[in-house]
Chain A
């Protein structure tokens, strides 16, 4: 098991800041939306540092997941909240880890039920192998080379990242 300390995670976040600043310079009304739970924690930190004009959005994708038939309804952490109009806006979708791409697909489906964005940018703290869909991140804090059976867990409280394998 490898643990990346909060300081390391901060550096990854730093690497996400400058491309996001550039994006906000061109499209100042871009809306940041985090995916619960890990993505919201990342999005909150980015939003705090960037101070964009649009308030932060949060998505709970439990009602959009593609594994309802296999796994049933996943626990709902809280209602989705998108406190701005998505129509014709650049959306920065934020998650902690991009792996299969299924979460992002579900989140994009939900975003389109809120409106028709002009484009969606994907920003993730960590990207890893294991893509199952043609979805790649535009802004990445770190690329982690981990075994296929590894998990990457972002600890939202202590802002640390743990990489391990389930036995």
Chain B
């Protein structure tokens, strides 16, 4: 199964990064360790390393996103790659060009990596399967399926604060069903062996297969927060409200909003996370989002180091394009 997934090469190394399916704890831990190596580079005067010098990374955004695109762009630039931002929301696809035709054109621009954001689940995988060999694809969020780099930056942030996952109680609140972030977080928490994962939200917004994702559904937020180490809010998407799955924002906040009072039910050193953008007064109170337990802005910074790690790992050597090294064995590079 694992080897059939297009994101692995024949050695089991990541050549694309599409979702967390088949990713081992060892691989995930290596990504986080590598990201730890990249993190201090942001503190230096010179914030770049020469790793991807001369490589070209194209941001293919078929769906609007400022945060994710900016984070990938900055991460690529910190690796010294050249970055192309291609806005496909209003471009050729709107003119009726097929996705495959668009891909051929982008291949001809001689890029080394595509960061793909698409409203349809499976889009990044489809592109990875149809792209010329040698081009790496990283999923920047596809439909309701996965947002794996967000999942990893969340794990990076949790690990920095809490260390060992096996002892942790993690609570995800809100629209689990439609959230690719939640899906990737749940997958990553399962891989890392989180002690207990609880999901809480309106029944209509929690997937029926929560157990299969390694989580336990808890109907009431007050119950879910008891003894929690990590609390992850999710953005309530307005379109869900229009779809009558949620009565109103005020009603949602009353039942599932994270207020300071509710936060006190969790462990005193619990951290509060949110992938952003936050709807203050809907899923999270403003004073909690800005409070001292909030690590929301740290998550944003972590996103750079984690994306630098992922990009440099998928663009590294793979079985199909490996060149023998001439270095003396055992000493130096």
Contact = CB atoms under 8 A, between A and B. Distances in A.
A74 interface: yes
A73 B51 contact: yes
Interface in B1-55: 13, 30, 33-34, 36-41, 44-46, 48-51
Interface in B69-123: none
A113 B37 contact: no
Residue of B33, B49, B50, B333 contacting most chain A CB atoms (<10 Å): B333
Nearest to A109: B50
Contacts of B13: 72
Interface in A81-114: 81, 97-104, 106, 109-110, 113-114
Contacts of B130: none
Given A67-B327, A69-B323, A76 B37 contact: yes
A42 interface: no
Interface stretch (A10-18, A47-55, A58-66): A58-66
B332 interface: yes
A71 B37 contact: no
A68 B54 CA distance: 12
Interface in A101-143: 101-104, 106, 109-110, 113-115, 128, 130
A101 B328 CA distance: 11
Given A66-B333, A81-B40, A151 B46 contact: no
Nearest to A166: B329
Interface stretch (B207-215, B237-245, B255-263, B310-318): B310-318
Contact of A63 (B38, B313, B318, B330): B38
Nearest to B330: A151
B265 to A, nearest CB: 36
Contacts of A21: none
Contact of A100 (B34, B46, B51, B327): B327
B322 interface: yes
Contacts of A152: 330-331
Contacts of B49: 63-64, 110, 113
Give the interface residue-count category, chain B: 20 to 34
A19 interface: no
Contacts of B328: 99-100, 130, 148, 151
Contacts of A70: 317, 322-325
A106 to B, nearest CB: 6
Contacts of B318: 72
Given A75-B30, A102-B327, A115-B45, A97 B317 contact: no
Given A68-B51, A100-B328, A103-B332, A63 B317 contact: no
Residue of A72, A98, A114 contacting most chain B CB atoms (<10 Å): A72
B332 A99 contact: yes
A113 B44 contact: yes
A140 to B, nearest CB: 15
B332 A73 contact: no
Contact of A114 (B44, B51, B312, B329): B44
B152 to A, nearest CB: 15
A163 B33 CA distance: 31
Given A78-B37, A113-B48, 14 more contacts: A60-B37, A64-B49, A64-B50, A64-B51, A70-B322, A72-B318, A75-B30, A78-B36, A79-B38, A81-B40, A110-B49, A114-B46, A130-B328, A151-B331
7 smallest beta-carbon distances between A and B, as pairs: A72-B316, A151-B330, A72-B317, A76-B37, A103-B332, A63-B49, A113-B46
Interface of A: 60-76, 78-81, 97-104, 106, 109-110, 113-115, 128, 130, 148-149, 151-153, 166
